Amino acid sequence: MQVIPVIDLKGGVVVRARMGRRDQYRPIETPLSPTSDPIDVARGLMSVHPFKILYVADLDAIEGRADHRAVLARLNAAFPQLTLWVDNGIADPRDAECWLDGGWGHLVLGSESQTDGALVRHFAGHARVALSLDFRGEQFLGPPELLTDPASWPRDVVVMTLARVGSGAGPDLERLSAIARMAPQGRIHAAGGVRDAADLAALANAGIAGALVASALHDGRLTGTGLARL
């Protein structure tokens, strides 16, 4: 089980994500960090556990505003041992190639940002590209062809259940298991609802390869001791 901490960037700082309601996100307040600055928050997360990957949701870029490449550069410089997975709303092949050539990290193609399945198919075999299948409730956010064509998916797939982000509702095991059955050779990562080590164990038992977590770390429900036991 690969546990991946998440930071959500908006206006240059880390914000607290709640159920995908981005207009309500506010700068994070957490016992892990003295400020909402991305470096401070990342340092706090790394104090919990020596994570290998940090997932960065660039909310401004996803919503078509300025991106946070300067913040990514700071994170790469401060934590060279970390691999960044970045969802920044890219939906154009040239933009994707340019971003990958820049060496920022791994590019996450969010289904909510795509107009069709062409970009995902183009990068399906790229080792530094992942796909996020985004859901709001029962609604899939993105072109339907993406959800029904697992042959076009890259190896790493995130199942993002926005309504469960920061909710403490638990992961959507039924949906995750169904998608894992569609892509038996892939690595499926759960995003949204993970509360504690018991949830991580349940995901592992269901064949899920990884989990994105944030609130459980900031609230102290998922600790370094619990992660070490896993």
The one-digit pLDDT tens for each residue of the chain (230 residues) are 899 999 999 999 999 877 656 666 789 999 999 999 999 999 999 999 999 999 999 999 999 888 999 999 999 999 999 999 999 999 999 999 999 999 999 999 999 999 999 999 999 999 999 999 999 888 999 999 999 999 999 999 999 988 777 666 789 999 999 999 999 999 999 998 899 999 999 999 999 999 999 999 999 999 999 898 87
Range of the domain at 177: 2-229
Task: Write the CB contacts of 22 (distance below 8 Å, at least 6 apart in sequence).
Answer: 10, 59, 63
CATH number of the domain encompassing residue 142: 3.20.20.70
Rg (CA), the chain: 16
Q: How far is CA 186 from each of CA 69, 169, 208, rounded to the nearest angstrom?
A: 29, 25, 10
Domain count within the chain: 1
Residue 9 bridge partners (DSSP): 14, 58
Give the predicted TM-score (pTM) of the model: 0.94
DSSP H helices, the chain, are 38-48, 59-62, 69-78, 93-101, 118-122, 144-148, 173-182, 197-205, 215-218, 224-229
With H, G, I as helix, E, B as strand and everything else as coil, classify residue 88. Answer: coil
State how far the Cα of 97 lies from the Cα of 199, in Å rounded to an integer: 36
